[in-house]
Structure 1
Amino acid sequence: MTVRAPTADPAPLSGTPPRWRVLSWQLIGLALILAVWWLVTDVLKLYPPYVFPSPRAVWTEVSYGLWGTGPQDGKLLSAIGGSLRRVLTGYGIAVVLGAVVGLLMGAWLPLRATLGAYLTGIQSVPSIAFVPFAILFFGLNERAVLFVVVLEGFIPVALAVSGALLNVPPALRVAGRTLGARGLSLTTGVLLPAALPNVLTGLRTAWSFAWRALVGGELLISGVASIGEQLEVGRATANVALVLATIIIIGIIGGVFDALLRGVEGRVRRDYGLEVPR
C-alpha cells in the first residue's frame, strides 16, 4: 500500500482574492461611477450645472487649485498642505498620549473602570459638537482645530491599547512572569508586543476620526489655508464644482493614509501568523 504525500492546494483561500483582482474591481467600479456621472450631467442633463456639475467642471477646479491658473490658482494645494500639517501634528500628539493612557488603563483596574468608561461615552459624541467649546476656550484659531483633532484621535488609541493588552492570551502573561518579567517590563516587553496587531487597528481608526474632526473644525475657522476653508469658499460662492472637488480630495487623502496604515497592519499580522499572504 502506497501512501501519497499531501499536496498543497494551489487555489487561494476563499475570501482572499489576489490584490490585482481587487484593484481591477476598484478601477472598474470607478469607471462605472464616472460613466454614470457623465451620463447624468453631460448627456441627459438632468440637473443644471450650478446644482450638479459635470466631471469635467470638477476636474477644472482641481487643476486650477493644484497647478493651473484661474480663480483658485494654487489655493487648493496650499489648503492641502496646511490641513496635512495640522492633522499630522494632532494625530502624532494623540498617538503618544493615547498610548500612555492606554498602557496605564491596561495595567491599573481602577483607572480602566473610571476613565475607560468616560472615554467610551465621549467617543459617541460627534466631533463637530466639540468645535464650539474649542472655539470658546481657545479662540477662533488653529489651536481650537488642533484640540478637536487630538481629542478625536486620542480616545480610539487609548481604548485600543487598553483593550489589546487585556486580550493578550493568559499563557503569555504566565510565561513572562515565569521568565522574571514584572510590572512595566512585563507590559512593555511581553504584553505590548503581543497586542501590537490590535493596537495598529486602533491607530487606523484614530486616523479616520482625526481626519474627519480636522475638516469639521476647519469649516468654522476662517483666514487660514485649509481644506475646510475651501469647502466654505465653495459654499459662499455657490461653486458646487469646487465643493465636490474638495470632497473628492478629502476622500483621496484619507484613503491614501488609511491604505498606508492598513499595509503596515497587514504586514504585522502576517508576521504574527494571523493572516495568510495573498
Structure 2
Amino acid sequence: MTVSRAPGDSVTPATRPSGRWRTLAWQVIGLLVIVAVWWLVTDVLKLYPPYVFPSPHAVWTEVAYGLWGTGPQDGKLLSAIGGSLRRVLIGYAAAVALGGVVGLIMGAWPPVRTSLGAYLTGVQSVPSIAFVPFAILFLGLNERAVLFVVILEGFIPVALAVSGALLTVPPALRIAGRTLGAHGPMLTWRVLLPAAVPNVLTGLRTAWSFAWRALVGGELLIAGSKSLGEQLEVGRNTANVALVLATIIIIGVIGGLFDLLLRTVEARVRRDYGLEVAQ
C-alpha cells in the first residue's frame, strides 16, 4: 500500500539532495579557478617577475618546506603555527571569560549598559593595529603586549553580544521565570542566559575573527618569537614574496577552519532551539 504525501510534507534526508556537498563542490571549483588564473598569470603569460609575484608552485614549495621539511631551516612555519595558536587560544579564552561577565552585568543593569555599551562600541570601531603602540609602551615589546591586544579585540564583541542577546529574550520567558520564582541574578542565570545562547554564539564567532586578526598584527612587532607574524616579517626583510604569500594562505586557512568549527556549533545549537531546520 502506498502512502500519499501532502504537498507541504518535507522530504526525508535520505531522499533529499545534500546542500552541503553542493556547497563544497562549488567552493572547490572556485578554488581551482583561482589557482588556474594564478598559474596562467605567473607561469604561462609571465606578466610579473617571480620575485614580485611568485607562481603557485613556488608558494607551495615554501609551504612544504615550512611545514614538513627536514633541513636545518625547514619547519619554521609549523613552529610558527604552534606559537600563534597558543597565544590566540589563551587570549581568546580570557576575552570570552571577561566579555561574558561584563556582558551579563550590562544586560542586568540598564545604566551600565547605556554608559559602558556606548564606549565599547566606540572602541570597537578603532582598528586593532592602533592599540599596538599603546600596548608596547604600556607593557613592553613582549608577548604580553600581543595578548593585551588580542584580549581587548575579543572581549568587546563578546560583551556586546551577551548584553544584546539578553535584551532579545522574549518577554514571555521573563514573565514565566518570575512566575516560577526566579528573580534578579537567578532570573538571568537560569532563564535569560540559556535562552540567549544562540545569539551569544554569534558573538563568539565574531570575537574569534577580531582576536585572530589582532594577533597577527601584534606579532609583526615581536622580534624573535615563533609566530606567523614573524614569518611575514622574515619574508618582507628577505624579499621572499613566496614565503609571505604562503604565510598569508596559512593564516587564512587556520582562521577559516576555526570559523567553520564555531559556525557548525552555532548551527547545531540553533537547530536544537528550533530556530533553523536541518539542510
Could you say whether these structures have the same fold, taking a TM-score greater than 0.5 normalized by the shorter chain as the test? yes
- Offset at residue 6 of structure 1 (A): 2.4
Structure 2 CA distance for aligned equivalents of residues 149 and 72 of structure 1: 29
Secondary structure (helix, strand or coil) at the match of 1:256 reads helix
Equivalent runs, 1:139-150 vs 2, <5 Å: 139-150=140-151
User: Is the Cα–Cα contact under 8 Å of residues 156 and 203 in structure 1 kept in the other structure?
Assistant: yes
Asked whether 1:27 is paired with 2:28, we answer: yes
TM-score, structure 2 as length reference: 0.95
Tell me the equivalent position of 1:137.
138
Tell me the equivalent position of 1:270.
271
User: Is the Cα–Cα contact under 8 Å of residues 66 and 74 in structure 1 kept in the other structure?
Assistant: yes
Tell me the equivalent position of 1:47.
48
TM-score, structure 1 as length reference: 0.95
- Offset at residue 11 of structure 1 (A): 9.8
Tell me the equivalent position of 1:75.
76
Tell me the equivalent position of 1:6.
6
Equivalent runs, 1:173-188 vs 2, <5 Å: 173-188=174-189
**One-letter identity of the residue aligned with 1:264:** V
How many residues get paired?
272
- Offset at residue 100 of structure 1 (A): 0.3
- Offset at residue 71 of structure 1 (A): 7.2
Tell me the equivalent position of 1:118.
119
Secondary structure (helix, strand or coil) at the match of 2:42 reads helix
Tell me the equivalent position of 1:194.
195
**One-letter identity of the residue aligned with 1:179:** L
Tell me the equivalent position of 2:95.
94
Structure 2: gaps spanning 5 or more residues: none
Tell me the equivalent position of 1:57.
58
**One-letter identity of the residue aligned with 2:120:** L
Structure 2 CA distance for aligned equivalents of residues 244 and 52 of structure 1: 9
Structure 1 CA distance for aligned equivalents of residues 53 and 166 of structure 2: 49
- Offset at residue 69 of structure 1 (A): 3.7
Percent identity between the aligned chains? 81
Secondary structure (helix, strand or coil) at the match of 2:250 reads helix
Secondary structure (helix, strand or coil) at the match of 1:48 reads coil
- Offset at residue 184 of structure 1 (A): 1.0
Q: What are the superposed Cα offsets for residues 42-86 of structure 1, whole Å, 9 maximum, x if unpaired?
A: 111110000000000000000111111457401111100000000
Cα RMSD of the aligned pairs, angstroms, is 1.5
**One-letter identity of the residue aligned with 1:6:** A
With 64-73 and 42-51 compared, the bigger mean Cα shift is at 64-73
- Offset at residue 9 of structure 1 (A): 4.7
- Offset at residue 10 of structure 1 (A): 3.5
Q: Which runs of 4+ in 1 moved over 3 A?
A: 9-12, 69-72
Structure 2 CA distance for aligned equivalents of residues 72 and 212 of structure 1: 27
Q: What are the superposed Cα offsets for residues 220-268 of structure 1, whole Å, 9 maximum, x if unpaired?
A: 1111110000000000000000000000000000000000000000000
Change beyond 3 A, Cα 1:246–1:106: same
**One-letter identity of the residue aligned with 1:46:** L
- Offset at residue 208 of structure 1 (A): 0.1
Q: What are the superposed Cα offsets for residues 163-201 of structure 1, whole Å, 9 maximum, x if unpaired?
A: 000011111100100011011110011000100000000
Structure 2 CA distance for aligned equivalents of residues 195 and 71 of structure 1: 51
